[in-house]
Structure 1
Amino acid sequence: MKITLDWLRDHIDFDLDATTLGARLTMAGLELDALYRLDQGLEMVQVGRLETVDPHPNADRLTLCQVRIGESCLQIVCGARNHRPGDKVAVARVGANLPNGMAIQLGQIRGVTSQGMLCSLKELGLATESEGVLILDPATPDGQPIAQALGRDDVVLELGITPNRGDCLGVRGVAREVAALTGKSLNPLELPEVGIGAPEAIAEVRLEDPIGCPRYAGRVIRGVKVGPSPAWLKNRLEAVGLRAINNVVDVTNYLLLDLNQPLHAFDLEKLHGPVVVRRAAEGEILRTLDGVERNLTPAMTVIADQERVLALAGIMGGAESGVTEATTDIFLEVAYFDPIATARTGRRLELVSESRHRFERGTDPEAIPHVMERATRMILDLAGGQAGPVTLLDGGTWHAPAEIFYRPERVNRLGGIDLAAETMNGMLDALGCQVMPISGDEPRFMVIPPSWRHDLKREEDLVEEIVRLYGYDQVPTALPRVPASPPVPDPQRVLTERVREILVGLGYQEAIDYAFVGPEIQARFDGAITPVRLLNPLSEEQSVLRTSLIAGLIESAQRNLNRGNMRLRLFEMGRVFLPRAEDGILEEVERLACVLCGPAEEPSAHAAARAVDFHDLKGDLEVLMHGLTGMAPDLVAGGPAFLHPLRKAVIQGADGDAIGWMGQLHPAEQGALDLRRELFVLELDLGALPAKVKSGSKEIVASRFPGIQSDFTFLMPERTPAGAVVAEVMAVDAGLIRQARVVAIYTGTGVPEGWKSLTLSTLLQADDRTLTDAESKGVAERIIARVVERFGAALR
């Protein structure tokens, strides 16, 4: 939102300079994004009068001018041909640095001294292209600074307006803030008198969509003369970045910025029959002012006549009904369009406009009659004509702001301040609120917010208003009060912190994705579940609630790979949203997902490069599960169809139920997603983990007694899971067997078909003694007996 100081002073008299004002507004929540002077580069440009214009003695295409600036007369060589003696022109003196980057110096041009430059709009930074020098109004005083002559002696403030403060998208709204911050009074908005000069020119309007348009006003103005706007209006609009078009359209744009009320003017001759505010019909098409044909749906509110759609309500007018230089009669529209309906239509059509920006944040329904009168008066003054009566329709779907109960004591307690009730009431009154006392022992009040403040709905909103006007920087710093005994730790938080600690220690980085994904990638990774679709999605790529974390995490991996980051270790913890089959109720489940790809280690001259594989991910899972539960994960064959059929597994819990899966992404899926590396992924249900989660790392004391390492080679059926064999071996004597791992698996010559040779290495060690040969032999015998009995194996 751009405003200028002079424009702001039309609404309130204040003595703050631009920098101080910007700082005050920033502390009040209207952040100053930029501040710049309009006259930058014009400091040494003045109005001059051409006394003589003669041919250059040494050049046919140049002129030699004598220019009077106050008491001095300058000789200037000029290459333009549109100036004559007596003209008032913009003269850049020696030493000027113009907005276009040109530095003016004393110079010789074809043997003649030139003491400055006659400027065009381009040199002054006011146009991208211009022909000839700028010729000013003959009444412009000689020697006047050009910035003052052109209305450029002003300062622009660019404010970042948050979505809840739509009332500050107009100069009047910012002026209200300045009044509340400084204690000054707003200049009253006088209701202009508009005589009814054309009583027969009654606007026939029908309101058929009161939901999309709660209030609508229309008026016919006949006999206007469309033409250029006066300089003051052009300067105001151009100072804040809007291009002047013509006097009628410029009035609507001016009031949009001044009073935060979008308006629209139609060419009356192009309308057929009554104006109707309705829903669009299926298949209707509108070519908007930007020249684009747009397909409409019945969910969209439009302005139409008996033959066609004229405009998208609250967003943009149609190209075929706009005001042109040939227009003589207009139909002027001022309305309040529903914020949600306007936002939904604009997002669906991907159409952005100044009107939509304001309507979707909420305008002031009660200001419509005043804005209509003010716009009419300005059009009559600038374009002439006669106005008919106003047709004002109210659909009854908009209601005045509800009363808010508030307690000064609560404001002080929540805000950390100490203000009297009278001071708080004065702040609320300055914002336009009505404050009414309620009888009782403690000061209590009922507040009616103004019609332009749609964001004030509850007591906490009033607390925020009072604190920000008081000044966040004025709130004293105080340490929080904490209980003497430490709080009971939240088990879920302990779990997530421990997961984060372990995975970061393994070299993973945490990713945070949106809970919304596209339906295509959702179906690719969890097609068995129908996800919940959002009613008002940001885009089609974020239109459904995720039922799996892996879809978003793979998209993150895809973005990293496309940008050259080939070694990835990513994890995410978050909720997925699962509709229950029996009743459709949405369940939120906490899950963990990991993605692994690229080299196993950073490239080194001392080790050969190796890409990660299934066992790297399995090893990370083992470290994680042992760190969380003290137990190794139980893996069985299986897993989702989007995983490699030979490199996937289901992760089981202590009761044998599946709590997750892991594996390599299927090559077909890798190709469909155009991934440059093999991806290894896992997803785990955090809520299904056993309750005994280690709350942090603990000291590990190494035994000072020697260990005994033994190897066993068994012949067993080929389909016997190696993990199951390891688990059985570890269960033989959990106190002495410190480690059991598979060191070799062999099939081929010497091994019967359907069988395999599996070699295990074990480590036996005690904390309090050196093991004897007898103890070692006893454990070995029990290991052999257990494996032979459980798996039908034979010792080789």
Structure 2
Amino acid sequence: MKVSESWLREWCNPSLALDALGHQLTMAGCEVEGVEPVATAFSGIVVAEVLTVTKHPDADKLNVCTVSYGTDEVLQIVCGAPNVRAGMKAPLALIGAKLPMPDGSTLTIKKGKLRGVESQGMLCSAAEMGMSDKSDGLLDLPADAPVGTPLREYLKLDDQVLELNITPNRGDCLSIAGVAREASLLTSAPLVPPAIPTIAASTQDTFKVTIAATEACPRYAGRVVRGVNAKASTPLWMKEKLRRQGLRSIAPLVDITNYVLIELGQPMHAFDLNQLQGEITVRLAHNGEQITLLDGQSIELKDNTLLITDQAGAVAIAGIMGGQRTAVSLETTDLFLESAHFAPSAIAGRARQYGLQTDASYRYERGVAADLCVQALERATQLVLEICGGQAGPIVDNVAEASALTKRSVTLRAARIKRVLGITLEHAEVKALLERLGCEVTDTAEGWQVLVPLARFDITIEEDLLEEVARVYGYDAIPAVMRPLTPMLHLPSQESVRLEQLRAPLIARGYQEAVTFSFVDEAIEEQLSPGIDRIRLLNPLSAELGLMRSTLWSGLLRAVSYNLNRQQTRVRLFEVGAAFSLEEGQLQQRRKIAGVVTGFNEPEQWAAPKRKVDFFDIKGDVEAILAAVSGETFYFIPVVHAALHPGQCAQIATKEQVVGWVGALHPQLESTLGLDQSVFLFELDLAYLQKARVPHYTAVSKFPALRRDLSLVMDSHVLAQSLERIIANVAPPQVVSWTIFDIYTGQGVELGKKSVALNLIIQDASRTLEDSEVNTIVATVVAALEAETGATLR
């Protein structure tokens, strides 16, 4: 939001320098991001009058002008501007004047000759004075501009523009009036708005309006103005004010609505009355309905879009942009001026839905006061009649929802100010502060009952009023004192304990926790988890963030790519977050933990050789997580996953459900993401990892343990977890552990078979076992392995 200092001081002129005023605005929440001059530092330019214009004897595009600049001397100026004419007022750069150049240098005006004719200065365009990027001719000054007056003084060019960062909750500050209210509130300087007269109707012509979508459009005011001169010139003062706000002058009727938008904060639209057919209806669009907008863009509408229509169809997208068919032009003679209140929820996101962003939609999305419509309409009518002439009809004010004009009532208790803000304020001081906010305040036994201005959409509860008190009192004036706190014992929740137990083994293995976007690229998401019903965003931040993620891998892989592109070749990341999908038409949100690793298994060091991370490294990391979960046995089952390498992929499951996946990223996906090294991933559903393991003590046996090594030949497809399941089912408690320590295939072992060497550690807690007992235990285990896997002793 740009704010001209001179325009702001017309409304409120505190006795503060601009930097001090900017500091107060910043501390109150309207951050001043920058201050810029409205014109470059030219000098020696005055208002001049062109007396005569004759053709240059030796150049078709040049004219020889005689110019008066407020003294008895008349200067001869050679000028090539196409709009120069006798009697016009224009800026004149005298001999010795200094003008800015595009490269940052300065041009000093000297007496010279152009095609043999002497020129004693230069008539200037706005671009030549650094007031615009381009100009079609001389800056045409008003006829009453005083000749000889320095141009900087006449146009008040020693002005500055503040660039304000207005937060989304403060839509009431998106105008000169709104910022002036803030300045008056903070400095106690009087607010002096311009006089806006009630325009008496000089014709009884009206145009019928029907509001069908009453919730989206609670109020719609309009007025007919006939006999306007659309070819009139926009006054220079208005052009200058618009320029300083970053708006280009287009034509008087458009400039007036833009001026009222900036001044009061109420978006308006002017329709060519003779192009409207039948009556205006405010309604929601039909799917597929078409409109061609002012910028020439043809839009296919959706049924969530609020429209202004006539009998022939849509004439504007409400609160966003008008249509081309009913737009005003230089041939317009009769107007219908619109000033409406649209609910923020009816406008929010609609402009982005069609790839649009306008000043009107920016304000309506944040909230425009419902009581501003008629005031803005009167102001626009006043300016139209002054600049373009015409006859105004009566205002037709359609209020479909009276509740939109009902002020919100909020209670503020005096005791809460002391408790929450830690300051003590006098009752009268608080009341005066609230009244300066524009509130209507009634005293109560505990404090105040406050009627909030309609423009303050952000004040809904007592805490909002407390924030206003703190903001206006001054955050820097509140003492930095710690509040006395009653000691309390906060026990962590079971879920937080469980998550910490899952995070701990990953952190210990060198992982770093990441937080990534929940919005992801559709192209990558489809490859990571094909066949899932996904949630598409109606108004994505960008085309690459159009879906809600169904897997945490989407964000983690982008993070890996980002790090690898910045020479971080060893990456270990994990994330705990939500994944989203549609199941039977219902939104499902599942909490998951996922990780990704790539590069070397250890940081570079002298004590160990380099080795690239592999499938078994990440499988070990997953097993460390699962070891923190009690009550379940987890199996790694070789099943194909579309995103994972077919030979390095496993589904993680219990006897009842699938818990997650682990494996190497598919080579095709590695290529798509531009990854030049192998990447390994895992993802687990937290819903199936509910119970944290509680450590318990096991007595250490004082009797010797016995080891028995077994070499078994079995089919090559038999999994280690199959052996684990069998041994766990048949082995007595004396088998305290077992380990596979060798696998062999090759000479001496039949094709399709493998030799697996494992050991059994056998120990009793109460006595030393005899050989016969140990042999019986080993025979039981071997028999079970033979029966279920076909294994034989080698």
TM-score normalised by the shorter chain: which range applies?
Answer: 0.7 to 0.9
Question: CA–CA distance in 1 between the matches of 2:543 and 2:113?
Answer: 66
Q: Tell me how far 1:16 sits from its aligned partner.
A: 1.7
Asked if structure 2 preserves the Cα contact closer than 8 Å seen for 1:104 and 1:117, the reply is: no
Alpha-carbon displacement from aligned partner over 1:425-471 (angstroms, at most 9, x marks no partner): 22211111111122x4xx23221111111121111111111111111
Could you tell me which amino acid in structure 2 is paired with residue 3 of structure 1?
Answer: V
What is the letter of the counterpart of residue 359 of structure 2?
E
User: 2:782: which partner in 1?
Assistant: 788
Q: d(CA) in 1 for partners of 2:142 and 2:234?
A: 15
**Distance in structure 2 (CA, Å) of the matches to 1:760 and 1:628:** 27
| Residue matched to 2:219 | 215
For residues 375 and 57 of structure 1, do their structure 2 counterparts lie closer, same or farther at Cα, with a shift above 3 Å needed? closer
Q: Report the AA paired with residue 453 of structure 1.
A: R
Q: Tell me if 1:402 matches 2:412.
A: no
Q: Structure 1 vs Structure 2: percent identity of aligned residues?
A: 36
Counterpart CA distance in 1 for 2:516 and 2:581 is 17
Asked if structure 1 preserves the Cα contact closer than 8 Å seen for 2:113 and 2:119, the reply is no
- The offset of 1:56, in angstroms, is 12
Distance 1:622 1:557 in 2: 23
1:587-736 equivalence runs, <5 A: 588-598=589-599, 611-625=612-626, 634-638=635-639, 640-652=641-653, 658-667=658-667, 678-689=678-689, 691-692=691-692, 713-723=711-721, 725=723
Alignment of 1:749-788 (within 5 A): 749-759=747-757, 788=782
**Structure 1 residues 425, 640: closer, same or farther in 2, change over 3 A?**
farther
Alignment length (residue pairs): 769
Q: 2:170 is matched with which residue: 161, 165, 171?
A: 165
TM-score (norm 1): 0.83
CA contact (8 A) 2:30 2:165 kept: yes
The 10-residue stretch of structure 1 (239-248 or 522-531) with the greater mean CA deviation from structure 2? 522-531
> Alpha-carbon deviations, 1:224-259, whole Å to 9, x = none?
111221010000000110011122111110010111
2:467 alignment partner in structure 1: 464
Shift of residue 600 of structure 1?
Answer: 5.0
3-state DSSP of counterpart to 1:512: coil
Choose which of 379, 382, 386 in structure 2 pairs with 1:377.
382
Alignment match, 1:206: 210
Residue 782 to residue 48, structure 1, CA distance change in 2 (3 Å): farther
Amino acid across the alignment from 2:21? L
Q: Which residue of 1 aligns with 2:454?
A: 451
CA distance in 2, matches of 1:605, 1:444: 72
CA deviations 1:155-187 (Å, max 9, x no partner) are 111111111111111111111111211123322
- 1:689 and 1:418, CA in 2 relative to 1: closer, same or farther beyond 3 A? same
Partner of 1:748: 746
List gaps (5 residues or longer) in structure 2.
696-704
Determine which of 89, 92, 97 is the counterpart of 2:91. 89
- The aligned residue for residue 253 of structure 1 is 258
Is the 2:177–2:193 Cα contact (8 Å) retained in structure 1?
A: no
What amino acid does structure 2 have at the position aligned with 1:791? L
| Structure 1 counterpart of 2:699 | none
> C-alpha distance in 2, partners of 1:103/1:777?
105
The 3 A distance-change label for structure 1 pair 753 and 198 is same
Q: Secondary structure of the residue that 2:366 maps to in structure 1?
A: coil
Is residue 38–residue 160 contact of structure 2 (8 Å, CA) maintained in 1? yes
Is contact 1:737-1:763 (8 Å) kept?
Answer: yes
Asked whether the equivalents of residues 498 and 694 of structure 1 are also in contact (C-alpha less than 8 Å), the reply is no
Check if 1:339 corresponds to 2:344: yes
2:518 to 494, 515, 518: 515
Instruction: Name 1:771's counterpart in structure 2.
Output: none
1:683 deviation in Å?
0.8
Indicate conservation of the 8 Å contact 2:39/2:131, yes or no.
no
Paired position in structure 2 for 1:8: 8
Offset at 1:89?
A: 3.1
Question: Aligned partners of 1:729 and 1:444: how far apart in 2?
Answer: 76
Partner amino acid, structure 2, of 1:788: V
1:473-488 residue pairs with structure 2 within 5 A? 473-479=476-482, 481=484, 484=487, 486-488=489-491
For residue 337 of structure 2, give the secondary structure of its aligned residue in structure 1.
Answer: strand
Structure-2 change in CA distance of 1:73 and 1:559 (3 Å) = farther
Q: Structure 2 CA distance, aligned partners of 1:49 and 1:779? A: 122
Q: What code does the residue aligned with 2:30 have?
A: L
Structure 1, residues 34-64: CA drift from partner, whole Å, max 9, x if none? 1112134235645567899999999999999
Q: 1:5 corresponds to which letter in structure 2? A: E
Residue 426 of structure 2: aligned partner:
420
Q: Given the alignment of the two structures, is residue 39 of structure 1 paired with residue 39 of structure 2, yes or no?
A: yes
Q: Which residue of 2 aligns with 1:768?
A: none
Deviation at 1:98, TM superposition (A): 1.8
Q: CA deviation at 1:198?
A: 1.6
Residue 107 of structure 2 aligns with which residue? 104
Evaluate the alpha carbon distance shift between residue 73 and residue 409 of structure 1 in structure 2; reply closer, same or farther with a 3 A threshold. Answer: farther
For residues 156 and 64 of structure 2, the distance between their equivalents in structure 1, rounded to whole angstroms, comes to: 29
Matches within 5 A, 1:102-141: 102-105=105-108, 119-130=124-135, 134=139, 136=141, 140-141=145-146
Q: Following the alignment from structure 2 to structure 1, what is the Cα–Cα distance between the partners of residues 601 and 94?
A: 68
Task: Indicate which of 325, 338, 355 corresponds to 1:320.
Answer: 325
Distance of 2:301 and 2:496 partners within structure 1: 48
Measure the CA separation in 2 of the matches of 1:91 and 1:174: 36
Q: Is contact 1:437-1:444 (8 Å) kept?
A: yes
Please state whether the residue corresponding to 1:3 is helix, strand or coil.
Answer: strand
Q: Find the counterpart in structure 2 of residue 704 from structure 1.
A: none
Q: More deviation in 126-135 or 110-119?
A: 110-119
- The residue identity in structure 2 corresponding to 1:103 is T
The one-character-per-residue Cα deviations of 1:247-300 (angstroms, maximum 9, x if unpaired) are 211111001011110111111121222222223334321111111001113332
3-state SS, counterpart of residue 123 of structure 1: helix
Q: Report the counterpart of residue 176 of structure 1 in structure 2.
A: 181
Give how far 1:522 is off: 5.7
Instruction: Tell whether the 8 Å contact from 1:639 to 1:661 is kept in structure 2 after alignment.
Output: no
What SS does the aligned partner of 1:389 have?
Answer: coil
Instruction: Give the CA deviation at 1:678.
Output: 4.5
Q: Given residue 39 of structure 1, which amino acid in structure 2 is its aligned partner? A: A
Deviation at 1:28, TM superposition (A): 0.7
Judge conservation of contact 2:171–2:366 (CA < 8 Å) in 1: yes
- Which moves more between the two structures, 409-418 or 530-539? 530-539
Q: Is the aligned partner of 1:309 residue 2:303?
A: no
CA distance in 2, matches of 1:632, 1:216: 67
Higher alpha-carbon deviation: 123-132 or 179-188: 123-132
Q: Structure 1: 5+ residue runs without aligned partners?
A: 696-706, 766-773
Does 152-161 or 206-215 show the bigger shift? 206-215
Q: Shift in Å at residue 188 of structure 1?
A: 4.8
Decide whether the 8 Å contact of 1:403 with 1:447 is kept in 2: yes
User: What is the deviation of 1:127?
Assistant: 2.9
CA contact (8 A) 2:166 2:174 kept: yes
CA contact (8 A) 1:179 1:185 kept: yes
Instruction: Read off the aligned partner of 2:650 and give its amino acid letter.
Output: A
**Aligned equivalents of 1:597, 1:92: Cα separation in 2:** 71
Whole-Å Cα distance in 2 between the matches of residues 160 and 297 of structure 1? 32
Letter of the structure 2 residue corresponding to residue 591 of structure 1: K
What is the Cα deviation at residue 109 of structure 1? 6.2
C-alpha contact 2:141 2:236 (8 A) present in aligned 1 = no
Distance 2:58 2:594 in 1: 81
Q: Give the letter for the 1:467 counterpart.
A: A
Give yes or no for contact 2:175–2:265 (8 Å, CA) kept in 1: yes
